Chain A
Amino acid sequence: MESKVVDENEEGPVVPMRVDRFGFVKQEHGPTEGLARSRSAFEYQRDERRIRKWRKMIGVGGSDWKQYVRRKPHVVKRRIRKGIPDCLRGLVWQLISGSRDLLLLNPGVYEQLIIYETSASELDIIRDISRTFPSHVFFQQRHGPGQRSLYNVLKAYSVFDRDVGYVQGMGFVAGLLLLYMSEEDAFWLLVALLKGAVHTPMEGMYLVGLPLVQQYLFQFDHLVKEHMPKLGEHFAQEMINPSMYASQWFITVFSYSFPFHLALRIWDVFLFEGVKVVFKVGLALLKYCHDDLVKLPFEKLIHALRNFPEDAMNPDILLPMAFSIKASPLSLSLSLPSPLLPCD
């Protein structure tokens, strides 16, 4: 990925820090690694063209969006799958998730939640604030603006929906949103996701018993067997089940430990098309590494499933692969046998 070095001269008295283009502090590697690869004139022009097209599609402040989606849903879907331009991401996410409508319908509600309500989860949230995207400049500073807004959004949600409250993992979702929009916008997008403004509500992923996580893991297990029988068989033999590697994929929608540029591309599609893409990306990762994975014994398997090679995480390779996977409606409609059999 392209990345740039923060110009040390512009940093003034602050200790210079090397961050990537998304604001994550870079590991101290050799001096050559990760140095800015200047974008070619061709790439630059292509990006400019894309942004112009997107602006036209959205209209001023999103005014033309709904009409465009109604008229040309396939064009929208195709463009979103190619990636929303970063400078428009925050706005488009709010449009496709339905959160913009929620915000407009509920003026003043967020402020009310922040100022007047108290939450039983406050201490839990505080405990995790500094452990959420700790390597991002926005969230690094103790009690800085990033940590404060993360706290506010999570606290507001825990009050708004006391059944869900606060669950570890929500911080990564909220944190990712806060890098692209204001606190209040991020809050309503969280509401749109968990309450299901457009797609299946996500709240079951965080409710007591984590029922939706268990269901998704169960379905994912079936999909692996269906799409990659040999790997499925190998997993069964080595006693590997999806809860060992995929819980985070679902709970944080790939925002916990995947390269950020990939997470963003997945989020573009996730917000427009729903949770199906999480299954598909998961399957694509396994498919990409299939021939290696089927040879590995238990421990190495677990390691490999948590450390995919860099080339597997290239969105321009992984996503087309994910889109080509046809997750059968049958597998996706499977529900857990009752009583719940976690993990088996």
Chain B
Amino acid sequence: MARRADEEYDYLFKIVLIGDSGVGKSNLLSRFTRNEFCLESKSTIGVEFATRTLKVEGRIIKSQIWDTAGQERYRAITSAYYRGALGALLVYDVTKPISFENVSRWLKELRDHADSNIVIMLIGNKTDLKHLRAVATEDAQSYAEREGLSFIETSALEATNVEKAFQMNLSEIYRIISKKSLSSENPAPANIKEGNTLVVGAEEINTKKACCSAS
């Protein structure tokens, strides 16, 4: 089966959106993939999925994004989606200190369930609620530096930095993968053996593409 033009891409990256319930994960996703924001959104039950293809560092990258329910109990289902993810956007709400304090628990979750080389970005969302801000940018910034995460603040409502956040995460993944494929024999993240992901590293693109379209 021939792949249609709109499905052509150089790389396919799987990303997960995690963080406490109510911090705005689903709206970040809808803003990024459909440029929509829903004031009356429902809480996410289980997982949601969306994709967007965009140009990063001159390459066409398709991002497959899994948006997960934030409540702790749902990790029984959602943590399976960390496996094989190349990137994680760890979101907190700048107006809810507790959601920032829980970031360390989410990092532990990733360490326990995700690939060790997953590229993590810390995102402070809801910057539009200026008068309610309760987490200082500097605190989050220095926390991110200590933990080796990249960091950005966003507003899904005002569409501030949302594009940039995803772009940064995707280019970081791209840089790591392209560097690895230059310098190593066996560069791809260890995810091909993981049954239920479609994530591919640099080398597997062609075979995987063929496999995807051979239905």
With contacts A128-B43, A248-B45 taken as known, whether A167 is within 8 angstroms of B73 at the C-beta atoms is yes
Contact A124 B195 (CB under 8 A): no
Contact B196 A128 (CB under 8 A): no
With contacts A131-B42, A132-B43, A168-B21 taken as known, whether A243 is within 8 angstroms of B77 at the C-beta atoms is yes
A residues near B64, Cβ cutoff 8 Å: 299
The closest CB in chain A to the CB of B197 belongs to A239
Contact B196 A241 (CB under 8 A): yes
A residues near B213, Cβ cutoff 8 Å: 297
A residues near B73, Cβ cutoff 8 Å: 167-168, 206, 208-210
B residues near A147, Cβ cutoff 8 Å: none
**Which residue of A210, A234, A295, A297 is within 8 Å of B74 (Cβ)?**
A210
Of residues 21 to 65 in B, which have CB atoms within 8 Å of A's CB atoms?
21-22, 40-47, 49, 51, 64
A49 to chain B, nearest CB (A): 38
Q: Does A256 contact B (CB under 8 A)?
A: yes
Interface size for A (C-beta < 8 A) is 43
Contact A256 B42 (CB under 8 A): yes
Q: Does B168 contact A (CB under 8 A)?
A: no
B residues near A135, Cβ cutoff 8 Å: 40
B45 to chain A, nearest CB (A): 5
Q: Bound complex: CA of A175 vs CA of B213, how far in Å?
A: 42
Contact B21 A134 (CB under 8 A): no
**Which residue of B46, B69, B195, B215 is within 8 Å of A296 (Cβ)?**
B215
Q: Mark B188-213, 1 if CB is under 8 A from A, else 0.
A: 00000001111000000000000011
Q: Bound complex: CA of A124 vs CA of B71, how far in Å?
A: 9
Q: Bound complex: CA of A237 vs CA of B196, how far in Å?
A: 10
B residues near A146, Cβ cutoff 8 Å: none
Interface size for B (C-beta < 8 A) is 29
B residues near A169, Cβ cutoff 8 Å: 45
Q: Does A70 contact B (CB under 8 A)?
A: no
B residues near A133, Cβ cutoff 8 Å: 42
> What's the dominant secondary structure at chain A's contact region?
loop
**Which residue of A234, A244, A247 is within 8 Å of B215 (Cβ)?**
A234
The closest CB in chain B to the CB of A344 belongs to B195
Q: Does B76 contact A (CB under 8 A)?
A: yes
With contacts A134-B40, A302-B49 taken as known, whether A243 is within 8 angstroms of B21 at the C-beta atoms is no
Q: Does B80 contact A (CB under 8 A)?
A: yes
Contact A344 B21 (CB under 8 A): no
Q: Does A219 contact B (CB under 8 A)?
A: no
Q: Bound complex: CA of A213 vs CA of B47, how far in Å?
A: 13
With contacts A124-B21, A252-B45 taken as known, whether A168 is within 8 angstroms of B195 at the C-beta atoms is no
A residues near B197, Cβ cutoff 8 Å: 239
Contact A247 B45 (CB under 8 A): yes
Q: Mark A180-219, 1 if CB is under 8 A from B, else 0.
A: 0000000000000000000000000010111001100000
A residues near B49, Cβ cutoff 8 Å: 244, 299, 302, 306
Residues of B participating in the A interface, judged by any CB pair closer than 8 Å: 21-22, 40-47, 49, 51, 64, 69, 71, 73-74, 76-77, 79-81, 195-198, 212-213, 215
15 contacts between A and B (CB under 8 A): A127-B22, A130-B40, A132-B43, A133-B42, A172-B45, A209-B76, A239-B197, A241-B196, A247-B45, A247-B47, A251-B46, A257-B42, A298-B198, A299-B49, A344-B80
Residues of A participating in the B interface, judged by any CB pair closer than 8 Å: 124, 127-128, 130-135, 167-169, 171-172, 206, 208-210, 213-214, 234, 237-239, 241, 243-244, 247-248, 251-252, 256-257, 295-299, 302, 306, 342-344
